[in-house]
């Protein structure tokens, strides 16, 4: 299921192999031998810190961090494609671990473009030196999530989280929820309304907020159905003061965040693809090892048909993903539409792949210690990560027909 290897650069080929070896050597044995750990209700104890340390040994936690701060810089002409290759391999082992790591990559891209030099030095150095250090991007709120990503450029859709300028900096008040890495992160990029009454694109600002800042409180870990080795969190801000230099972008933060969102869609589709590849690999091995009715399962026509269907869906996702990643890397005019197409298409097709895997394993597919039902649960999460299916469809239409597509919020003209 890896027919695109011939298109990889030598650097990408080596990174892919390093990640595959890491998954087979470290992650897969952990999941096989300690599968109950996924259900540990103490988030701090869920994923062993040794796995993040092992990830550091192949430098996949600090991708996109500038080399001068000790990170790994990828070729700028193929960076997004490289992100996709690595994310797929990690998610083939575990999508929660992939979620945990890719947040670092995406936020690193944002910070290297928006953060002042002294803060880059401080936080990138901290990130590189501490193998448990994680980054988080705080946009989603109780009253606004995927819909904000259209974005609605009307006051009715403005952030509920507010930031007010005070002497020497800003005070932030509000609440963020469903934040990837939110429970564990040491540094947050936080979006807030700084111009009440204005549209989203003119009134939203972004701030760099360290975890230890007074007034920032991590209030809970959201217990999810899948991707459970990434601790999703909810965060309150109460008169949380950040100095002036921690303002990343005033007023136009959502527009500037495109540099985070576009690679994010590609990475999301790639993680989903990795889950599908894992489901296919496990299923193809199973149906060629077990007999029913005196024949290997694969010799039954209905089984063969489903296996072919799984392979076709995976290849279709990979093809669109490659096209979309190339569009983002080359800053093509159709990048917005393609990266959203890849994200939503992968979420739907890979869920079907995992459904087939579950059914082809029969009763074993429902057993927690086998690991197939975990892939199905993980795949189900992707329908709404990084935008729901419907919101992704809206974004595709807006990218294709910007003059006539609906606004979806605010008064109808």
CATH number at residue 192: 2.40.110.10
Q: 162 with 219, same domain?
A: yes
Q: 393 with 262, same domain?
A: yes
In a domain, 413, yes or no: no
In a domain, 405, yes or no: no
Q: Can you name the residues that pair with 215 across neighbouring β-strands?
A: none
Is a pLDDT exceeding 90 seen at residue 154?
A: no
pLDDT band at 9 (very low <50, low <70, confident <90, very high): confident
384 vs 187 pLDDT, higher one = 187
Please say whether the dihedral angle defined by the alpha carbons of residues 116, 117, 121 and 124, taken in this order, is positive or negative: positive
Q: 121: which 2 tokens?
A: 């030095």
DSSP-based three-state secondary structure for 393? helix
Q: 387 with 277, same domain?
A: yes
State the DSSP code for 411: -
In a domain, 106, yes or no: yes
Q: Can you name the residues that pair with 187 across neighbouring β-strands?
A: 135, 210
Mean pLDDT of 57-82: 92
In a domain, 203, yes or no: yes
pLDDT band at 3 (very low <50, low <70, confident <90, very high): very low
pLDDT computed for residue 285 by the predictor: 96
Is a pLDDT exceeding 70 seen at residue 2?
A: no
Q: 261 with 396, same domain?
A: yes
- Tell me the CATH number at 120: 1.10.540.10
149 vs 259 pLDDT, higher one = 259
- Domain of residue 153: give its range: 135-252
- Tell me the CATH number at 278: 1.20.140.10
Is a pLDDT exceeding 70 seen at residue 309?
A: yes
Is a pLDDT exceeding 80 seen at residue 147?
A: no
Q: 186 with 225, same domain?
A: yes
Q: Are 99 and 137 within 8 A, CB to CB?
A: no
pLDDT computed for residue 406 by the predictor: 77
Q: 248 with 286, same domain?
A: no
pLDDT band at 180 (very low <50, low <70, confident <90, very high): very high
| Residue that finishes a domain, picked among 129, 152, 177 | 129
| Residue that finishes a domain, picked among 235, 252, 269 | 252
Q: 233 with 264, same domain?
A: no
Please say whether the dihedral angle defined by the alpha carbons of residues 144, 206, 261 and 50, taken in this order, is positive or negative: negative
Helical packing angle, 79-93 and 301-329, nearest 10°: 150
Stretch among 159-173, 246-260, 351-365 having the lowest mean pLDDT: 246-260
Q: 23 with 123, same domain?
A: yes
Q: 111 with 205, same domain?
A: no
What predicted TM-score, i.e. pTM, was given to this entire model?
0.93
Q: Are 294 and 288 within 8 A, CB to CB?
A: no
In a domain, 297, yes or no: yes
Is a pLDDT exceeding 60 seen at residue 4?
A: no
Q: Cα–Cα distance between 140 and 133 in angstroms, integer? A: 22
Kindly report the backbone phi and psi dihedral angles of residue 400, in degrees, each rounded to the nearest multiple of 5, phi listed first.
-80, -35
pLDDT computed for residue 413 by the predictor: 53
| Residue that finishes a domain, picked among 129, 159, 190 | 129
Task: Quickly tell me which residue has 């890491």 as its tokens.
Answer: 22
- Number of folded domains in the chain? 3
In a domain, 216, yes or no: yes
Task: Quickly tell me which residue has 């040994």 as its tokens.
Answer: 57
In a domain, 407, yes or no: no
- Short-list 20, 102, 73, CA closest to 269: 102
In a domain, 412, yes or no: no
Q: 248 with 280, same domain?
A: no
| Three-class DSSP labels, 212-269 | CCCCEEEEEEECCCCCCCCCEEEEEEEEEEEEHHHEEECCEHHHHCHHHHHHHHHHHH
Stated length of the chain: 413
Dump pLDDT digits (tens) for 349-405: 999 999 999 999 999 999 999 999 999 999 999 998 888 898 899 889 989 998 888
Q: 246 with 283, same domain?
A: no
- Short-list 163, 343, 174, CA closest to 271: 343
Dump pLDDT digits (tens) for 197-243: 888 888 999 999 999 999 999 999 999 999 999 999 999 999 999 99
Please state, rounded to an integer, the average pLDDT across all residues of the chain.
92
Stretch among 48-62, 111-125, 148-162, 276-290 having the lowest mean pLDDT: 148-162
The beta-carbon contacts of 367-372 under 8 Å, at least 24 apart in sequence, are 368/35, 368/36, 369/35, 371/31, 371/32, 371/35, 371/282, 372/279, 372/282, 372/283
pLDDT computed for residue 6 by the predictor: 60
Q: Name the E strands within 160-231.
A: 162-166, 169-179, 187-193, 204-210, 216-222
Q: 123 with 151, same domain?
A: no
Q: Cα–Cα distance between 69 and 80 in angstroms, integer? A: 21
Is a pLDDT exceeding 90 seen at residue 409?
A: no
- Short-list 297, 268, 296, 291, CA closest to 356: 297
Q: Cα–Cα distance between 134 and 127 in angstroms, integer? A: 7
């Amino acid at each position: 299921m890896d027919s695109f290897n011939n298109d990889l650069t030598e650097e990408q080929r080596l990174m892919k192999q390093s990640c595959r070896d890491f998954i087979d050597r470290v992650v897969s044995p952990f999941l096989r031998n300690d599968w109950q750990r996924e259900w540990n209700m103490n988030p701090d104890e869920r994923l062993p810190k040794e796995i993040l340390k092992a990830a550091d040994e192949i430098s996949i936690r600090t991708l996109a961090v500038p080399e001068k701060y000790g990170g790994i810089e990828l070729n700028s002409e193929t960076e997004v494609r490289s992100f996709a290759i690595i994310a797929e391999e990690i998610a083939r082992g575990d999508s929660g671990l992939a979620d945990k790591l890719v947040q670092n990559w995406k936020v690193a891209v944002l910070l290297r473009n928006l953060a002042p030099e002294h803060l880059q030095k401080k936080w990138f150095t901290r990130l590189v030196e501490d193998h448990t250090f994680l980054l988080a991007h705080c946009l989603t709120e109780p009253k606004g999530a995927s819909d904000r990503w259209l974005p609605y450029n009307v006051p009715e859709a403005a952030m509920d989280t507010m930031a007010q300028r005070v002497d020497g900096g800003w005070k932030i008040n509000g609440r963020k929820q469903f934040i990837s890495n939110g429970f564990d992160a040491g540094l947050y990029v936080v979006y807030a309304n700084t111009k009440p009454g204005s549209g989203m694109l003119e009134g939203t600002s972004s701030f760099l907020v360290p975890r230890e800042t007074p007034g920032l409180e991590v209030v809970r870990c959201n217990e999810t159905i899948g991707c459970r080795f990434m601790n999703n969190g909810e965060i309150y801000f109460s008169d949380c003061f950040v100095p002036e230099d921690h303002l990343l972008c005033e007023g136009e933060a959502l527009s500037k965040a495109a540099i985070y969102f576009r690679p994010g869609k590609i990475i999301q589709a790639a993680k989903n693809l990795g889950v599908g590849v894992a489901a296919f690999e496990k299923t193809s091995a199973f149906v060629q090892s077990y007999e029913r009715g005196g024949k290997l399962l694969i010799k039954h026509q209905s089984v063969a048909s489903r296996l072919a269907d799984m392979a076709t869906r995976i290849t279709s996702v990979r093809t669109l993903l490659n096209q979309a990643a190339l569009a983002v890397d080359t800053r093509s005019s159709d990048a917005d539409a393609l990266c959203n197409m890849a994200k939503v298409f992968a979420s739907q097709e890979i869920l079907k792949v995992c459904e087939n895997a579950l059914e082809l394993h029969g009763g074993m597919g429902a057993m927690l210690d086998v690991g197939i039902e975990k892939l199905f649960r993980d795949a189900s999460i992707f329908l709404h990560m990084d935008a729901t299916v419907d919101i992704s469809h809206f974004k595709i239409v807006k990218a294709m027909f910007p003059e006539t597509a609906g606004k979806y919020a605010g008064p109808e003209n």
